[in-house]
Structure formats: C-alpha cells, structure tokens
Chain A
C-alpha cells in the first residue's frame, strides 16, 4: 500500500492528511496552527502530528503534495524580492497616460526597443545592447528578472532572446556560475493584454525566492521525518506540479487553497457538479465544481490590487468564518466579520483568568464596542517600533489583557485603538473576542474549548440587546447561515454575468422574504439552487444545513470535511495546457501557426493545424513529465472561428483556429 501525504496551509490551521493511494481512503488527519510569519513551522508540526498519530512509517509515504497560501498572502501583503521588469516594444507614453505603470508591480522598469504585431511580425529588432546594459547595472541589486514583449503571445522570439542575454550576463557575474531566474510573460499566458502579462510576469519573478525558501524548508522537514517521496505543489487550477517546477512558476500557485478544497470536495463527496462551500476560521470560499473540475476564471485571477492572467479557480472569498469577530454597532445592529480574532473559549482554555475578567465587565456594564475583547502577544517584533507601541507590547508580556484597560492606559482611546490595530496588522498582537465559534459553545453544538468564557461573553453582548445569551447565540448562528446563503446567491449571479447589488431595497427585501419567515409579506418567495452544496471546513455542519434549507437544495457534508483541502492536495492530477493559434496572413495566401516557441507559415489552414498536431503533443508530454506526471495522456480540442458574410457577399470569413492541447497524468512517484 502506498500512501500520499497532503498538506494545506490555511488562514487559521495547517492540515495534514494521509491518504491510501489505492483506495482514496483518508487514513489519518491532523491539524496545527498556521504560523504566518514562517509557514514551514506549522507545516512541520502538522506532518509530525499526522505521522505519529497514525503510526505510519515515513518510508511508506510515496507522494507529498502541498497547497499553500504563500503566494496569495505575499501578493496581498506586498512581500517579495526586488526584481527588474524589462518591457520590449511597449509604448511608454501610452503606459503613463493610462496609468498602466501602476500595474507593473516593481518600480524598476526598463523599456527597450523591439516587439511584434498582431500577426507576430517583428515591428522593430530587439535592442540587445539595451538589455545587456540594463542587466549589467542591476547585478547584485535584484533577485530575479521579468521580461514581457509586446505581442509576445503571438511571437515569443524577443522574450526568449532577452532571457538568453540575461542568463548569460547574470551567470558570468555570479559566484557559482548560475544565472538569476528569468520569467517570460508568454510562458504564463498567451492571451492578449501586454499590461496584464507584464503584471503577471513581474509578480511571478518577485515570488520566486519566497517560494524557493518555503520549498527548501519543507523538503528539509520531510527529510528530517524520513520521507523521501517527491514533493508536489497545488496550482490555482487544482492540478499538481513538481516543487522544482513550481519554484519557477510561483504565481500559478495563487488560490491553490480554494482550488484544493474544490478538488477535495469532489474526491470526498463523489459528485461532479456541485457548489463547494468551504467555511473556515477566517473566510468562507465558494467555488463551482463542473464535471469534476473547479471552474476557472477565464479573465485571470485577481489577487489584492493586481489583475493577473493566471487561470485559477473562480472563487468568491468572504471574510466570514468561525473565528470572525461578532460585535454590535452604534445602533445595536449585529455585525459579523470580516476581521478574524481568537475565540473567547480558545483564549480561556489557555488563560482561564479571562473568565473572571469577563464576569467583572458583565457586572460593571458598559457599552463601548470593545467590551469583552482582549489583546494577546503573538511574537517578538523584528522591526523598529515606536515607544508607545513597545510599551503596549510589554504590558502584554504576562498574558492577555482586556482591550478596555489598554485603551484607558493609552491616552486618547481612539489613538490607542489605532496603535493596537497597527500591531495587529504587523502580526505582533492578536485580538480575542466573541465569535460564532463561541456561540456554538454556548449552544452546546461544539465543545472543544472553555465554554464558560463563551457564556459570559455572550451575556455581555446579549445584555445590550436585552435578550438572553442563548437567544443571542441563535441569532449569531442564523446570521452566519444567512450571510453564507447571500454570498452563494451573489456567486451564482456573478457566474451568470449579473452583479448583485444588495443595496437595492427591492433585491434585499425579496431575498429576506425568501430565506426568512416572510415578514408577514403577501409575497411568497422561494429561491432554489439547482445543484447540491458540498460543504467542507471544520464548522460546516453548524451553519450549512440552514443554508441548504434557505436555498432548497441538497447538502452533502462528506467525512473528513474538516481536512478536505489537504485531501484535495493529493487528489489532483498533473495537468498542463498549451494554446496554439492559426490565423490568416494579410492577403489570405498563407496561414501562420503560433506555437509556444515559434511561428511558422503554411499554404493552408489544414497544413498548419497538422504541423501543430504533429509536433506539440510530444513536446507537451515531455513538459508535463518534467512537471511530475506519469502515464501522460494528451487531448486536443479544436475550435475554428468562422463567421458568415452578409448574404450576397459570397463566402464565409475565416478568422482563426484555436487549438487547445491538454496533457494530464497522475503524479509520478519518481523523484
């Protein structure tokens, strides 16, 4: 029996599972807290836990697959190494006038002459000297290069030449003779939009050193545990690639968590056409699974402020989860999320004296928004801090303290609050407060931590609403379910090309009448979701049955739903897709095929297609084997784009032929 080890680093937990590769059965699972500042710490703990718990010999593990939020988080938080972006044949004035320079990720941008046109003809020769000089002046100052050429999606010749120059120059100047990594735009997308290809290439280059660090740390951890199996990484489309390949294409790992969860849902539930709802601690992610594959976003994934051209799972993420902060606003309206905190019950199981403090606050009364909240130290600062910030950190050295006390000591409460929020943003301090997880503890539907703190915390908020703690908790749970249902409807509409504007009173009222008791309305509204919901994530069972009722559909909560992402990591195949286009040249006398590495002309469309079908499959199969696949299958899809001319104007008009080559295989056990 061979065993696969799946690992997922989520916002709150890092999960590890052992899966029997033959039967697909989940053998063991374990969780450790995600260590955001160094993901490998949490990964190491989760691996050690799952191995020791299962008593499984490390030598039996034949495959390790990792889905990681590293790339997504690094992009959102603006981390990464300094890189130089070389743009070939771009119109600098146009880039500036339309504000496109702000999309280039790095401030270090070099414009050089060159580039092609829509049919792949050279507009101007590449200014090789300019490339050489740009590279030479950046030796020792950048960690990687990104290259993007105008219309390189139609002819990559200048990008490839620029890469050769960069590799040759940087290798000559490096101690070990190895060149710096170079990312070319055409390798990441062959779609048109020179600005977005540049964004994608620059993001990719910037992430390479980060992912490289993580991969080598994980590989060391695996070696320490005695695991010699190959390490693979989940891409944003749910498929796998070998770690050494992923290091060169880190941007393709964005959204790998949601993609793995959709694949895991398919694997565990055995259903191919469903809505996958992953309720986590920090966020709720919704994705469509169609035909057993996560539906991808054809526009390219948007991460943080960047619109990339990475075809990743089309996921809708909301800041709503079991650990979302529950609070009341000035008008005593119930607010949940988007901020994530430490649940009171979890805090109290490590620090029992917070219960007494909560009781003291309850006796005292008070309606500041932060009543019942605590701050606790997370880790030592590495950056310089202001004196006030340092003293705030010092005051937390002996354990968590109520936010009310910190704000009293900090001078003006709002200034002190902002100080606290800054330390939270730096990851030095965490907030604790009442959460949906606490509500479940009060209601007895979930018992892992200290429910006493949850009960008192619920009482604090309930008193301000003038209701009992249990009734308040029911309201919180129902509100989470309703919010998830609303997000699901928003997602369905978005996939159908409609933006749901919930600020429209009619829309909001119809939805409320549909999911609620109708408010005594004469309208009988009913929303029905055609496909079933597969719910995964630890708290799914608490919130999702009500969601399925509201939307009148079936709910599947598979076994091991709490570790579906880690299961999804090992359930994916190795898949690579290449797109090839044939288009007519002016005059219609010849046809040009745009291949991944070259362009070639033929007298007829069929000759061009035949050439592509003869040469591409072998090259693609070789590439997908390098990406870690065995038993490779290549599939070709052909679409001829033809439109009829107006009647009386003769024949049809041939526009182009698009060939999509997809190679898929199972992960190879070979290292």
Chain B
C-alpha cells in the first residue's frame, strides 16, 4: 500500500503527469483515502521538489513540470476531497503587479504553495492595485503575494500596499513580495511583511505568516 504512495511521489518528482493521474486513481481503487494520497503522495513529492530546487539540484523548468504532474493528480482527487479533508493552511491571493506581464515565477510560487496546502487565488499578471483590493475584499485571504520582474514595475508594489492601506484592509492581511530584482530592503521600504528570494523559500515564509 505504502508502495503506491511512494511511486506517486517519485513520478510527481519526475514530472510524469499522466502516470501520476493513473497512480492516484489506482490508489483510490485500492482503498486509500483521498487525504492520505494527497498528504503522503502528492505533497510529499512536491516537498522534495522544493528542497532540491532550493539546493540548486533542480531548475525552474523541472519544477514547472513537477507542478503540472501535481495538478494532474489533484484533478483526480479534488472532487473527492471534502472541505475538512483538504488541509488548507490558509488562503493566498497572488498576482504580478500592474504593468508587468511576467508570470513564470509567480506561477511557480503558486504551485508550490498549493503543494504545501495553501488555497490560492491567482489574479494573473498586470494586476492593478484596485484589483488586489477587490480580491482581498472578496476572498479575505490570510496572505497577499505580489511579483514583479522589472525595476520599473516594482514601484507598483508600493502603490498596491498604498491602496490596501487606504481601503483600511492593510492590517487584515500579510503581504509578501518577490521577483528577481526585488530585495529584502525594498520590501521593508514599501512596508511589506516579508520577502522571499525563491519559490521554495516563499513557501517557508508563507507558512510562518499564515
């Protein structure tokens, strides 16, 4: 029984999306609960991906492929997971700030967060400050994550925090920022709660904030 969970984790790590989906179905047929499969198969595999990515043994394309496999497995499980089964750590609203169309890093963080049990709301790219405010209003997340890949759009992270301040919502969420040009000092200057240099660290930081 435990073999199949180990197999799911390994295939996920290798990015075999079709095989992961099939294995998840087999695991269900053999009587394992959706929660066991999620926790000890999919999330266990994704955790290893995060560790190796952080250590420099894996690179972005490999992580993306692994995340795709995670999704394939989740698609099988999702209808079967009841609200109490899904081990949601907290809601996380994520997006790339206004004027910026980069999404690879943002997607990576999102997938890793989902792998870690966060429920994510992806606002996409080129997200205006007001759209972040509306998303906080609608979804009432624990954390808001912003990504920027250009020095010219980094300033829109500040505009977004300004907008949350003006709406009176700043104290109801934690704010994380990231993206290649972003630094911890910058995060502090604009009044964000945290900065993460890469997707794996983002998950660690988010766990602490949640």
Q: Interface residues, chain A, CB within 8 Å of chain B?
A: 91, 93-94, 97-98, 100, 117-119, 150-151, 153, 192-196, 584, 586-588, 641-646, 649-651, 653-656
> B98 contacts which chain A residues (CB < 8 A)?
586
CA distance A12 to B131 in the complex (A): 53
Does B200 reach chain A (CB closer than 8 Å)?
A: no
Q: A584-B155, A645-B181 in contact; A193/B189 too (CB < 8 A)?
A: no
A98 near B172 with CB under 8 A, answer: yes
Contacts A/B (CB < 8 Å), 26 sampled: A91-B167, A98-B172, A100-B168, A117-B129, A117-B163, A118-B129, A118-B159, A118-B166, A192-B165, A196-B168, A586-B98, A586-B156, A641-B189, A644-B183, A645-B183, A645-B186, A649-B151, A649-B180, A650-B151, A651-B151, A653-B151, A653-B154, A653-B181, A653-B186, A654-B155, A655-B155
Q: Complex Cα distance A587/B100, Å?
A: 12
B152 within 8 A of A: yes
Other A-B pairs beyond A91-B137, A119-B159, A584-B155, 14, CB < 8 Å: A94-B137, A98-B169, A98-B172, A118-B159, A153-B166, A192-B162, A192-B165, A192-B166, A195-B168, A586-B156, A588-B152, A653-B151, A655-B155, A656-B158
The residue of chain A having its C-beta at the shortest distance from the C-beta of B185 within the complex is A643
Which residues does chain B contribute within 8 Å of A586, judged by CB atoms? 98-99, 156
B29 → chain A closest CB, angstroms:
44
> Quick check: B162 and A643 within 8 Å, CB to CB?
no
- Residues of chain B within 8 A (CB-CB) of A97 are 137
**CB of B121 within 8 A of chain A?**
no
Query: Complex Cα distance A286/B183, Å?
Result: 39
How distant is A106 from chain B, measured CB to nearest CB, in Å? 17
Nearest-CB distance from B28 to chain A (Å)? 39
Contact B151–A98 (Cβ < 8 Å):
no
Per the bound structure, the CA–CA distance linking A117 and B162 in Å amounts to 9
B130 at the interface (CB under 8 A from A): yes
> Of residues 173 to 187 in B, which have CB atoms within 8 Å of A's CB atoms?
180-183, 185-186
Given A588-B152, A643-B189, A655-B158, A193 and B168 contact (CB-CB distance below 8 Å): yes
Q: How many residues of B contact A (CB 8 A)?
A: 30
| Chain A residues, CB < 8 A from B163 | 117-118
Determine if B166 and A193 form an interchain contact, defined as CB atoms under 8 angstroms apart: yes
- Chain A residues closer than 8 Å to B156, beta-carbon distance: 586
Write the nearest CB–CB distance from B172 to chain A, whole angstroms.
7
In the bound complex, what is the Cα–Cα distance between A167 and B167 (angstroms)? Answer: 28
Measured between beta carbons, the chain A residues less than 8 angstroms from B162 are: 118, 192
Residue B190, interface by CB 8 Å = yes
Q: A651 vs B129: C-alpha distance in the bound complex, in angstroms?
A: 24
A residues near B159, Cβ cutoff 8 Å: 118-119
**Residues of B with C-beta under 8 A to A641:** 189
Tell me whether chain B's interface is mostly helix, strand or loop, or mixed.
helix
Say yes or no: A117 contacts B130, CB within 8 Å.
yes
- Chain B residue contacts of A195, Cβ below 8 A: 167-168
Task: Tell me the nearest residue of chain A to B181, going by C-beta.
Answer: A649
For the complex of A and B, list the 6 residue pairs with the smallest distance between their C-beta atoms, beginning with the closest: A195-B168, A649-B181, A643-B186, A192-B165, A645-B181, A118-B162
Closest to A153 in B: B166
Task: Tell me the bound Cα distance from A117 to B182 in angstroms.
Answer: 24
B182 touches A646 (CB 8 A): yes
Q: In whole Å, how far is B99's beta carbon from the nearest beta carbon of chain A?
A: 7
Q: How far, in angstroms, from A651 to B172 measured CA to CA in the complex?
A: 33
Q: Contact at B180–A646, with CB atoms within 8 Å?
A: yes
Distance (Å) between the CB of A85 and the closest chain B CB? 15
Least Cβ–Cβ distance between A582 and chain B, in angstroms: 13
CB–CB B172/A645 < 8 A: no
For the complex, what is the distance from the CA of A117 to the CA of B161, rounded to whole Å?
12
Shortest C-beta distance, A274 to chain B (Å), equals: 31
Q: Which of B128-146 contact A (CB under 8 A)?
A: 129-130, 133, 137
Distance A100 CA – B170 CA, assembled complex (angstroms): 13
Which residues of chain A are near B133, meaning CB under 8 Å?
94
- A641–B162 CA distance with the chains assembled, in angstroms: 15
**B120 vs chain A, min Cβ distance (A):** 21
**Complex interface: chain B residues within 8 A of A98 (CB):** 137, 168-169, 172
Q: What's the least CB distance linking B143 to chain A, in Å?
A: 17
Q: Is the CB–CB distance between A194 and B167 below 8 Å?
A: yes
Distance between Cα atoms of A117 and B130 in the complex (Å): 9
Give the CA-CA distance A645 to B189 in the complex, in Å: 12
Closest-CB distance, B136 to chain A (whole angstroms): 9
Is the CB–CB distance between A645 and B137 below 8 Å?
A: no
Q: Which residue of A lies closest to B160 (CB)?
A: A118
Nearest chain B CB to A577 CB, angstrom units: 20
Bound-state CA distance A440–B165 (Å) is 51
- Considering the complex, give the chain A residue whose CB is closest to the CB of B166: A192
Query: Which residues of the other chain, B, contact A587 by a CB distance below 8 angstroms?
Result: 152
CB distance from B14 to the nearest CB of A (A): 32
**C-alpha spacing A656/B162, complex, angstroms:** 12
CA–CA, A100 and B181, complex, Å? 37
Q: Which residue on B lies nearest to A647, using beta carbons?
A: B183
A-chain residues with CB within 8 Å of residue B190 when the two chains form the complex = 643, 655
Residues from chain A with a CB closer than 8 A to the CB of B99 are 586
Of B155, B165, B185, the most chain A CB neighbours within 10 A belong to B155
Q: Which residues of chain B come closer than 8 Å to A192, judged between CB atoms?
A: 162, 165-166
How close is A153's CB to chain B, nearest CB, in angstroms?
8
B11 to chain A, nearest CB (A): 35
Q: Pick the residue among A117, A194, A645 that contacts B151 (CB under 8 A).
A: A645
Taking CB atoms, residues of chain B closer than 8 Å to A117 are: 129-130, 163
Chain A proximity of B51: nearest CB distance (Å): 23
**Complex CA–CA separation, A98 to B165 (angstroms):** 14
Cα–Cα, bound, A571→B163 (Å): 41
Measured CA separation A193–B165 after assembly (Å): 5
B167 cross-chain contacts in A, Cβ below 8 A:
91, 94, 194-195
* Complex Cα spacing A337 to B152, Å: 58
| Minimum CB–CB distance for B35 against chain A, Å | 32
Chain A minimum-CB-distance residue to B129: A118
Contact (Cβ within 8 A) A643 B183: yes
Within 8 Å CB of B155, what residues of A? Answer: 584, 588, 653-655
In the complex, chain A residues whose CB is within 8 Å of the CB of B168:
98, 100, 193-196
Query: Are A646 and B181 in contact, with the CB atoms below 8 A?
Result: yes
Contacts of A100 in B (CB 8 A): 168
Enumerate chain B residues within 8 angstroms of A642, measured Cβ to Cβ. 189
Contact partners of A153 in chain B: CB under 8 A: 166
The residue among B151, B154, B167 with the most chain A CB atoms within 10 A of its own CB is B167
Instruction: Across the interface, name the chain A residue whose C-beta is closest to B171.
Output: A193
Q: Closest residue to B152 on the A side, CB-wise? A: A588
CA distance A588 to B152 in the complex (A): 7
* Residues of chain A with a CB closer than 8 A to B180's CB: 646, 649
Question: Which of chain A's residues have a CB closer than 8 A to the CB of B137?
Answer: 91, 93-94, 97-98
Q: Are A644 and B129 in contact (CB under 8 A)?
A: no
- Chain B nearest CB from A360 CB (Å) reads 57
Smallest distance from the beta carbon of B37 to chain A beta carbons, Å?
37
Contact status A644-B185, CB under 8 Å: yes
B153 to A, closest residue via Cβ: A586
A586 to B137, CA, bound (A): 25
Chain B residue contacts of A119, Cβ below 8 A: 159
Task: Tell me the complex Cα distance, A612–B4, Å.
Answer: 70
Query: Chain A residues with Cβ under 8 A from B169's Cβ?
Result: 94, 98
Residues of A within 8 A of B152 (CB): 587-588
With A645-B151, A649-B151 as contacts: A151 and B166 at CB distance below 8 Å: yes
Distance between B130 CB and nearest chain A CB, rounded to angstroms: 7
Bound form: Cα–Cα A588–B154 in Å = 12
CB contacts (< 8 Å) of A656 on chain B: these are 158
B164 nearest in chain A by CB position: A192
Contact B183 A655 (CB under 8 A): no
Q: How far is the CA of A587 from the CA of B155 in the complex (A)?
A: 10
